Amino acid sequence: MERHNRLAAELSAAMNSFDVSWSAVLHVAEAAAAVSVAWFVLLGLLAYRTKAGFVAAAPAGQELGAETPALAHLLANRWECGEEAAEATFMDMAARGYIAIERVGPEPEQAVCTVKNPWPADLTPYERTVMNRIQQVTVGSSTPLPALAHGSPQAAELWLRSFRAEVIAHARELGLSRSRISTLTRIGLVSLALLPGGVTAVVAAKSFGHPAFALIGLILYGLLASSVGRLRGERDTAAGREAASRWLGMREYLRLHPSFAELPPAAVTMWQRYLAYAAALGVARQVLRVLELGPGDDHKAWSAYGGTWRRVQVRYRLRPSWGWAPSRAFVTGFGWLGWAALMIFMTRQWFFVGWVVTLAVAITSMACGLGATYVGCGLLDWLAPRYLDGLVLRVRERKRFNPFAKRHAPWRSRTYLALDAGSGDTATAWVMAPELRYSPSEGELARVQVGRCFGQVRRYEIMQRSWEWRRPATTEAEKQQSTPPFQLGHDTPSRF
């Protein structure tokens, strides 16, 4: 018993020796904030100074340079290598006769590739990576083009990361690119982060009255040093800027010929390397849509809704109320209003205390504002929803897990529907109502009723299946009755 009392007394004395008052906390916070702001200002200036500069396009010309399509993509894309470089490399090897692409159906996707010369001596390392991918998926003598896609996003990301590293290594070898931050500069920045970390450690130990609080400075140093890793990527060189200007001029030349955007991969037999460079420079959109060598991106999709192929950016809203039904908005809104009324009722006897009045007014105002917003948005979704026609681009289910039961909770999962209405290059991912989660399919034309504020799809009507509007008309009657997707209305006032 005496031992416990002695330990309690020692612990109480140690706690009394610490100064954990608000003034000490504010003193340490001010010091940490000051040195952190100075650090991030320095890091921001360095990031601005080392980013790839603007390159003016040379006059439009048709002369192909010595760089491969992957390098042309890297230079024209501000020294960022995307999956388009891999697809352009595939087309370039087909143009050089190492691969043969044969069309076997009316659709651009209905084509197969056959390896003619698997391992020529003049292949670069990243071209060998693409060839190795073709060999892996080849069964028999030929491979359908859709089979080139990887089975999982993780495997595709690893493959693309290896391909990207080999392209960058080749660009550095030719003097067309260099690392954004050198190793010596990176070491200097990590070492310089000791200064704000040390200042924070000294201030914390002195303000709280114990050396153990110097760990706050160590934690701050770790955070600042890890931020140096954000400065990664490539930047321009003199030779790279000259080559990039040439390729930007080449892209302008290719854009003068709109037919490149609609050419299928099998057209490489006619256009040769021009089609490969058109894919590398983002002009051959049909080729990029058909070929999928990189990881599938839920945030990007190709759409022909509107008459021409274009890449659409899919936006997923992250706010918790996205996808709510109007009924849930009403319940939540009236709950907040009831909380505000309860707060007023509970604090009515202490209104003569200044700080109680200030706190009650702040909480009540926030609760009333949230309640009125939820109720108003719920009424708007219920009485004046939007009616949209468009092409279904993405149907994705985002599952949530119950950490207590350690299993999937299906009632908490969400099904997102990205619909291209043809009004721009962006598409919002709406949330399907639970009873409609299995209704949509990618590639079909649909009409939806969606809330304006919370974005829940409450009605879903299929206008044309994917195989119906994609199937070419064969008879004269079908040609007269068929309606292509780009002739449908984008926003209709119909009420189903």
Task: Give residue-wise pLDDT tens across range 250-259.
Answer: 999 998 888 8
> Band of the pLDDT at 18, cuts 50, 70, 90?
low
Token pair recorded at residue 418: 């990205």
Reply yes or no on whether the pLDDT at 181 is more than 70: yes
What tokens appear for 454 in the block?
Answer: 């919370």
The pLDDT assigned to 280 comes to: 93
| pLDDT given for residue 442 in this prediction | 76
Q: Confidence class of residue 121 from pLDDT cuts 50, 70 and 90? A: confident
**Statement to judge: residues 238 and 345 lie in one domain:** no
Q: For residue 331, what pLDDT band results from cuts at 50, 70 and 90?
A: very high
Q: Does residue 196 contact residue 35 with C-beta atoms inside 8 Å?
A: yes
The C-alpha atoms of residue 469 and residue 479 are separated, in whole angstroms, by 11
For residue 249, tell me if it sits in a domain: yes
307: left (phi over 0), alpha (psi -120 to 50) or beta: left
DSSP per-residue letters across 112-127: EEEESSSS-TT--HHH
Contact partners, residue 55, CB within 8 Å, separation at least 6: 78, 236, 241, 244, 245, 248
Asked if residue 315 lies in contact with residue 428, where contact means CB atoms within 8 angstroms, the answer is: yes
Q: What is the mean pLDDT of residues 105-127?
A: 87
9 Cβ contact partners less than 8 Å away, ≥ 6 residues apart: none
371 assigned to some structural domain: yes
Domain shared by 275 and 416, yes or no = no
| Domain match, 114 and 213 both | no
Q: Given this model, what pLDDT does residue 70 score?
A: 95
| 396 and 258 both lie in a single domain | no
Write down which residue in 279, 294, 309 finishes a domain.
294
Of the listed ranges 167-176, 344-353, 441-450, 485-494, the one predicted with least confidence: 485-494
Give me the percent of the chain exceeding a pLDDT of 70. 81
Q: What is the mean pLDDT of residues 225-244?
A: 88
Instruction: Note whether 363 and 343 are within 8 A (CB).
Output: yes
Classify strands 426-432 and 445-450 as parallel, antiparallel or unpaired: unpaired
Q: Which band of pLDDT confidence, cut at 50, 70 and 90, is reported for residue 309?
A: low
Task: Residue 91: name the closest of 104, 100, 79 by CA.
Answer: 100
For residues 361 and 415, state if they share a domain: yes
The crossing angle, in degrees rounded to 10, of helices 22-50 and 194-208 is 180
What pLDDT does 466 receive?
Answer: 60
Q: Assess if residue 152 is contained within a domain.
A: yes
Q: Give the mean model confidence (pLDDT) for residues 121-131.
A: 92
Distance between CA 169 and CA 445 in Å, rounded? 44
Instruction: Please tell me whether residues 123 and 165 are part of one structural domain.
Output: yes
Domain check: are 157 and 109 in the same one?
A: yes
For the cut 50, the answer to whether the pLDDT of residue 408 exceeds it is no
The answer on 247 and 387 residing in a single domain is no
Residue type present at position 405: A
Worst-scoring range by mean pLDDT, 37-46, 54-63, 380-389, 465-474?
465-474
Residue entry with tokens 């309860």: 342
Of 270, 294, 318, which marks where a domain is finished? 294
pLDDT for 12 equals 53
Residue 441 lies in a domain: yes
Contact 417, 436 (CB under 8 A): no
* Within a domain: 392: yes
Q: Are strands 426-432 and 310-315 parallel, antiparallel or unpaired?
A: parallel
Answer with the one of 263, 294, 325 that is the final residue of a domain: 294
Cα angle: 237, vertex 243, 245; to 5 degrees: 100
Based on the fold, state whether residues 209 and 159 are members of the same structural domain: no
Question: Does 251 fall in a domain?
Answer: yes
Distance CA(405)–CA(407), nearest Å, equals 5
Tell me the three state secondary structure of residue 455: coil
Q: How far is it, in rounded angstroms, from Cα 450 to Cα 496?
A: 12
Phi first, then psi, for residue 337 (nearest 5°) are: -65, -40
Cβ atoms < 10 Å from Cβ of 86 = 27
In a domain, 11, yes or no: no
Q: Are 295 and 428 in contact (CB under 8 A)?
A: no
Give mean pLDDT, residues 471-477: 44
Coil/strand/helix, residue 141 = coil
Q: Which strand ranges, in their side-by-side order, compose the sheet holding 143-144?
A: 99-103, 111-115, 143-144
Tokens 């009236």, residue located: 334
446 versus 359: the higher-pLDDT residue is 446
List, in sequence order, every beta strand (DSSP E) within 8-129: 99-103, 111-115
Number of domains in the chain: 3
Same domain, yes or no: 285 and 192: no
Which of 43-47, 234-238, 338-342, 356-360 is the least confident region?
A: 356-360
CB–CB of 212/48 below 8 Å?
Answer: no
**Is 366 inside any structural domain?**
yes
Task: List Cβ neighbours of 255 (8 Å cut-off, separation of 6 or more).
Answer: 283
For residue 404, what is the DSSP state?
T
Confidence of residue 460 (pLDDT cuts 50, 70, 90): very high
**Domain identity same for 386 and 336:** yes
Domain that holds residue 365: 297-496
- Beta-carbon contacts of 364 under 8 Å, excluding residues fewer than 6 positions away, are 340, 343, 344
232 is written with which tokens?
């990664």
* Sign of the CA dihedral running 44, 74, 305, 113: negative
**Residues 193-210, mean pLDDT to the nearest whole number:** 84
Positive or negative torsion for Cα 351, 352, 357, 360: negative
What is the mean predicted confidence (pLDDT) over 170-179? 93
Most trustworthy range by pLDDT among 30-44, 274-288, 405-419, 455-469: 274-288
Lowest mean pLDDT among 95-104, 160-169, 262-271, 463-472: 463-472
User: Which three-class secondary structure state does DSSP give residue 424?
Assistant: coil
Q: What is the CA radius of gyration of the chain?
A: 30
Q: What integer is the mean pLDDT of 417-424? A: 85
Where is pLDDT greater, at 5 or 408?
5
Asked if residue 223 and residue 139 are part of one domain, the reply reads no
Tens-place pLDDT, residues 337-375 = 998 888 777 776 666 656 666 777 788 888 899 999 999
Predicted confidence at residue 467, as pLDDT, reads 52
- Average pLDDT, whole number, for the chain? 81
Q: How far is CA 259 from CA 96, 275, 487, in A?
A: 22, 11, 21
Instruction: Map tokens 């109320």 to a residue.
Output: 321
